[in-house]
Chain A
């Protein structure tokens, strides 16, 4: 059974989930719409920065309300995402630069 979640927590959490989902969706649409790899790599980072951020804050709100105490595990997820995602992006970028002739400025 779900315990009652007060409205002042449920509302912002819902909003954050919607915004996070929309941001990730727009980022994924960018994967389809943008013409080349160098442009597409930018739209992916929408989902894994603010998109994930919104979902994690929502998760903190709901988990804290359910457990009746502050739950801050999600900060660790944020930390690990912030540490690892840029490394992937940089490595992909290096690979792309070496494999293709990048468009001149």
Chain B
């Protein structure tokens, strides 16, 4: 017997409440029924249930990601408009060794790097040990590897592993 997930149905119920904009008891009950009903009926499609260790780390990570999205928007905008002070922009693939193995952490990492302009997730080794990124401005590969490993992978491992 699998553990019954709690956070996901509660999250879906909150989503329902925001969507319908009503906090009446009937609507809360309906949201909970929908949330638990959906999660239970789809449980066989989710082979691994995530375990959250330190959720509060996520808030710091979320803030860092927002800052990075703003910064990288500016950086990519400069490249598009040719404001690079004559420096030639070299783009290419970059392989980054990963220590994280948790599929949920990897999924969040994929979302973070792809949502940030300038980097797109381009593949993962079969044993999840190497992440391949496509980087628009590959000026300093070491800096990119440091950013991914310390800024994102570290906190994600604290949350999921």
Asked whether A93 lies within 8 Å of B121 as measured between CB atoms, the reply is: yes
Given the interface pairs A46-B77, A103-B92, the reply to whether A94 lies near B123 with Cβ below 8 Å is yes
Asked whether A76 lies within 8 Å of B15 as measured between CB atoms, the reply is: yes
CB nearest to A44 among chain B residues = B117
Secondary structure at chain B's binding surface: helix, strand, loop or mixed?
Answer: mixed
A83 to B114 Cα, complex, angstroms: 11
- B93 CB, min distance to chain A CBs, angstroms: 6
Residues in A whose Cβ lies below 8 Å from that of B57: none
Q: What class of interface size applies to chain B in its complex with A?
A: 20 to 34
CB nearest to B118 among chain A residues = A42
Residues in A whose Cβ lies below 8 Å from that of B119: 42
A37 to B76 Cα, complex, angstroms: 15
CB nearest to B66 among chain A residues = A53
Cβ of A15 within 8 Å of any chain B Cβ, yes or no, is no
- B118 CB, min distance to chain A CBs, angstroms: 5
Within 8 A of B (CB), among A1-53: 23, 26-27, 29-30, 33-34, 38-39, 41-43, 45-46, 49-50, 53
Known: A45-B115, A50-B69. 12 other contacts (CB 8 A): A27-B80, A29-B80, A29-B81, A30-B79, A33-B82, A39-B136, A42-B136, A45-B116, A46-B117, A49-B73, A85-B114, A93-B134
